[in-house]
Amino acid sequence: MSVKRDDKRDQILKAASQCFSRFGFEKTTLQDIGAAARFNKASLYYYFKNKEDLFIQVVMLEAEHYLNALQEQVKPLDRAADKIVAYLTGRLAYYRQVLNLHQLSIESLQRFEPMFDDVYQAVREQELAFLSQLLREGVEDREFLKLNGERAADALLTVADGIKHEAVQRSRTAFAQEVDYAPVQEKLQYTLTLLLNGLRK
């Protein structure tokens, strides 16, 4: 019964999401999550590899919802370039919120990043598709030169993620208490403008 199984998985994910946002990753115990999901804590290991895995699944689920909402939000904008910039900067703001919500220290963040990358693929596919679509619309509307939507979308996403990644790294080596997102937003916006100008007629 794969359906039942998924139901229970979701039940756990929901409970975990509540716990993690209330107590943060470190302070949430599997006992907490188990109790909230009405499972024995040992049972969680049947559905998830370990606590980190569970956490990542939670964050990814939240990300999907958020990004979908964000995609809807930018659609009304007039030009494709604006939609793209709004989406990619909104995405960065989200990243920042998540860390804050789950009380993740830069330390932990570092530890999680590689694991995120594993699970990130599915979401990324969807994001790529969305960006490709925007780009193709831009071409149709004669906003952009003719281009390969997928390649360009991939480039945009990679740039956006690269800038985010670099900022996190720098914060760590600078022994900063938290990431200062203002310059990152600016840098992202500037770079995107350049890139999109490059695509422009």
196 CB-near residues (< 8 Å, 6+ apart): 81, 84, 85, 144
Residues 39-58 that bind its own copies (CB under 8 A): none
Report the partner that residue 177 touches, choosing among DNA, its own copies, none (CB closer than 5 to 8 A by kind).
Answer: its own copies
* 154: nearest Cα among 134, 131, 136: 131
Q: Is 107 in the site for its own copies (CB under 8 A)?
A: yes
Minimum gap (Å) between residue 51 Cβ and DNA: 3
Strand-pairing partners, residue 97, are none
Residues 21-60 that bind DNA (CB under 7 A): 28-31, 39-43, 45-47, 49-52
| DSSP annotation of 74 | H
Q: Is 103 in the site for its own copies (CB under 8 A)?
A: yes
The alpha helices in the chain, defined as continuous H runs, are 2-23, 30-37, 44-47, 51-74, 80-101, 106-140, 149-173, 181-199
* 135: nearest Cα among 87, 186, 64, 191: 87
Would you say 18 or 185 has its CB closer to its own copies? 18
* 86: nearest Cα among 67, 101, 99, 63: 67
Report the partner that residue 107 touches, choosing among DNA, its own copies, none (CB closer than 5 to 8 A by kind).
Answer: its own copies
- List 24, 120, 157, 181, residue binding its own copies (CB under 8 A): 24
Would you say 45 or 120 has its CB closer to DNA? 45
Q: Which amino acid is at 126?
A: Q
Residues that bind DNA (CB under 7 A): 1, 4-5, 8, 28-31, 39-43, 45-47, 49-52
Residues that bind its own copies (CB under 8 A): 18, 21-24, 26-27, 101, 103, 105-107, 175, 177
